[in-house]
Amino acid sequence: MSNILHVSVSCIESILDAPATLSKPNKRWHLAFATIYCSRALHSLLNKKNKKTSKLPLSIPSFVVLNVEPHLAFSNIEHTILTEVVKKKNLEQLREFGGVAGVADALKTDAKNGIHGDVEDIAWRQEVFGSNTYPRPPGKSFFYFVLEAFKDLTILITLASATLSLGFGIKEHGLKEGWYDGGSIFVAVFLVISVSAVSNFRQNRHFEKLSKVSNNNKVEVVRDGHRHQISIFEVVVGDVVYLKIGAQVAADGLFLDGHSLQVDESSMTGESDHVEVNCHHNPFLFSGTKVADGYGQMLVTSVGMDTTWGEMMSTISRDLNEETPLQARLNKLTSSIGKVGLAVAFLVLVVLVVRYFTGNTEDENGNQEFNGGKTKANDIVNAMVRIIAAAVTIVVVAIPEGLPLAVTLTLAYSMKRMLADQAMVRKLSACETMGSATTICTDKTGTLTLNQMKVTKYWLGKEPDEDSSSIDTHVLKLIQQGVALNTTGSIYRATSGSEFEFSGSPTEKAILSWAVLELGMDMEAIKQNYSILHVEAFNSEKKRSGVLMRKKADNKIHVHWKGAAEMILAMCSSYYDASGSIKCLDDGERITFEQIIEGMAASSLRCIAFAHKQIPEEKQEISESRQKLKEDSLTLIGLVGIKDPCRPGVRKAVEDCQYAGVNVRMITGDNVFTARAIATECGILRPDQDMNGEAVVEGEVFRNYTPEERMEKVDKIRVMARSSPFDKLLMVQCLKQKGHVVAVTGDGTNDAPALKEADIGLSMGIQGTEVAKESSDIIILDDNFASVATVLKWGRCVYNNIQKFIQFQLTVNVAALVINFVAAVSAGEVPLTAVQLLWVNLIMDTLGALALATEKPTKELMEKPPVGRTEALISNIMWRNLLAQALYQIAILLTLQFKGESIFGVSEEVNDTLIFNTFVLCQVFNEFNARKLEKKNVFKGLHKNKLFLGIIGITIILQVVMVEFLKKFANTERLNWGQWGVCIGIAAASWPIGWVVKSIPVSEKPFLSYLKW
């Protein structure tokens, strides 16, 4: 007590001794603090209950209350200096801080239990050290997309024409009426630009949201002794983060504990060689790097903008608006149609100019427009402007600007809907490529199965063990050691009465759960009795993990192995029987064990074996210095069978894919028997399919085939067992060489090459590593194969919707071009004015694209075989449909053009309005025909597409306004009920025509096979 008092008094004296340099206000603060501090110290000394804790009380409360110096809790370390120490890998300066342990202490972190992690603690750390986020470069504004739309050559030509038309129109007819033509073109251009800009702006915003979602990775931290999964953005300085193979390092930090940890720093340094991280030589870890091998825990020292990765990423804008293959093909198609449109426009221009100067045109009063020298220059200029405006309008209506817009809309819409269906698109082109997929190579665990594993069988020796109490004590201890020390998982229990919480991979959790609940394992007690010398971490190539450890009580060294049963069995020369005796594992016994493993596998169980070896004393020093785990002459402890049930609905999803002509292949690391059992259960294999042994193959066998053999057999393979990531890559390459469009699912770091090689890489959102996700095109958020089948359906839907719109668009293009060209050549005038053609163009480009691009997937899409990689974009079926409708429209409208006045007994103005109204209504009715390319019933599922019906309604309402109320603006005359009835009747005839035409068979050979779109 006297010692404590002496310490306290000396400390109080030092506090009371205020520095002479302090100003008067600061001296008063110092005196106030000293008074409070002394009173608290004396009070704690007099309080008997606090004898054990009567050390100097922390000064945090005093400082916080008085605000003498904020954040004094972290005053032992200068954060900027610590940040630089880690960035520059300054080992000497780190030692000055007291090493990693000293830094952890300064950051108030318990190396084992982490930070407290309550709300105040997290908020405090974020305030002092910042959050693990970085500012993104500002997104593209709406005006950026408006300017982009203005850069379109057609828009610029149209604006030039509109300017001329406006100028000469006002000059000729005065401001009151002269602005109509030019002004209407401006309005139409404004509408086209607005819709295009709004669509692109919204898509860009959607991409930005997706980017945020895809960057929001989950990391595992320990807080208050409990392992949590949190967002990478919630990581704070002082956090203890768990690292495993494939994980992205969440922040800059220091290595605390772990084994065989190797990091890929290529994203930071460009060096492809993996860097080993350990306590002694290189404890530094950097944000954005990936764990290549091993596992460990790190102490976070810098987050967000204080990390090199944060600085780098804040300057990088991830542009997801890449041009997809389909968009490239459509741009080519647009260009080809545009050239035809320009040619027609030029011919119309030439014909109209020739007709004008040869005196074959008349004005509104019936007088000849051009009379040689008598005609005023002003009239000639006005006539030329009118002719040029008509020619430019033909160009505008000919160029299908709606095609790229339709792709943008349908991709953006499908991406949004796919996200709701548990598929996040990282690469736009994957949406459409998926529609062409001919084969899917899928993982088993977590994709076809639930990934909810449970130990259901345990074999000790050659006997199944039903009751853990009958296990020999020595063998039981060995099993518990093998489970507790050779694992990357952990166990948490809040109180002695609460339930256990298990962390780690599903396999690890299943084994830990079994060992604790069935065998009564105390993991902490075992860990305290042993020190781990070396670890060989599990990976998908070795399919096993091992640990070298020393028992503290007697200093004896032991090796424990755990992994795929047949691989561990091959390393054993003896086994423990049910009584705990060691028996020799001769050839006969080995065959018995192999049969046991096959039997468990045939019951769809994943078979894991445990083996052990005590290192003889004479070899202990060699083993310890080399830190190499013994891999032969082991003793088999036992076998466990882990059940992972198939996902509900997976069999139907597989059958749907097969019905759609897409082969499903399963590639798994499990043995042949487990793989065959699961594949049969999921419907990938028929029970009688593998009679000749070609449908199921092991990875090693496939690898050892000659290239010719592989190419010959690859189409017949349905299941590849015991495969390595290299085997998966080899399979993908072979299938692509055979002409398949290959989709691959993957979750591990080693799956990255196959995911990149495949036409469509599908990574798993839950079990997938960050490396796998970054290598993929689409992330399956729920790890479910049914979602893969949904992606396939959406891929086909995208392609189908684009084809529907192309058919609709080209029908209008062909009809408008032919009508205007024939009328211009024969009559010397264009029946559809600039405003009218621009209105039709607006219906085609925007409203039509919106209506047809948002059709949802139907069952019919999965009834057809996959679309080939090189198949023509415009199929023979589409040519049949569009030519029939275009010819009907041309025939009707040219009849109205030349005979309409006499047939209906109307004036020329009313007849022109009839032509315009009939043309627009034909497109409205043809929009229904475009919903189904092959099926005759175009109304099926119509009630489900509210957007389509809404757009049709809006189009009709706007058309009524154009005809009935915008007489001068649109050059129309009001129509009576009878005339509206005639227009609707003529347009409605396109429905029965479409029904009849779809009965006409078409050949397989592309109609325009010589044209490359």
Structural contact between residues 540 and 729, judged by C-beta atoms closer than 8 angstroms: no
**How many residues in total does the chain contain?**
1013
- What strands lie across the sheet with 439-442, from one edge to the other? 423-425, 778-780, 760-764, 742-746, 439-442, 663-667, 719-721, 696-698
Beta-strand runs (E) in 208-337: 218-223, 226-231, 240-243, 252-264, 275-276, 284-285, 290-302
Separation CA 919–CA 915 (nearest Å)? 6
Structural contact between residues 797 and 411, judged by C-beta atoms closer than 8 angstroms: no
Pairing of strands 290-302, 439-442: unpaired
Tokens 């592309």, located at residue: 1006
- How many CB atoms within 10 Å of residue 318? 13
CA dihedral (483, 487, 493, 498) positive or negative: negative
CA-based nearest residue to 320, from 134, 139, 133, 135:
139
For residue 794, CA distances in Å to 415, 797, 800 come to 9, 5, 10
Structural contact between residues 868 and 1006, judged by C-beta atoms closer than 8 angstroms: no
List, in sequence order, the alpha helices (H) in 179-273.
Answer: 180-215, 266-269
The DSSP bridge partners found for residue 550 are 531, 557
Q: What share of the chain is helix, strand, coil (3-state, %, to 5)?
A: 55, 15, 30
Residues 6 or more apart whose Cβ sits within 8 Å of residue 297 = 111, 222, 240, 241, 242, 243, 255, 256, 257, 258
CA-based nearest residue to 395, from 465, 472, 337, 468:
337
According to DSSP, residue 224 is labeled T
Q: Is 866 left (phi over 0), alpha (psi -120 to 50) or beta?
A: beta
Residues 6 or more apart whose Cβ sits within 8 Å of residue 731 = 441, 665, 667, 702, 714, 717, 720, 723, 754
DSSP 3-state assignment of 286? coil
Separation CA 230–CA 240 (nearest Å)? 12
Q: What are the backbone dihedrals phi and psi of residue 583, each rounded to the nearest 5 degrees, phi first?
A: -115, 150
Q: State the catalytic residues.
A: 443
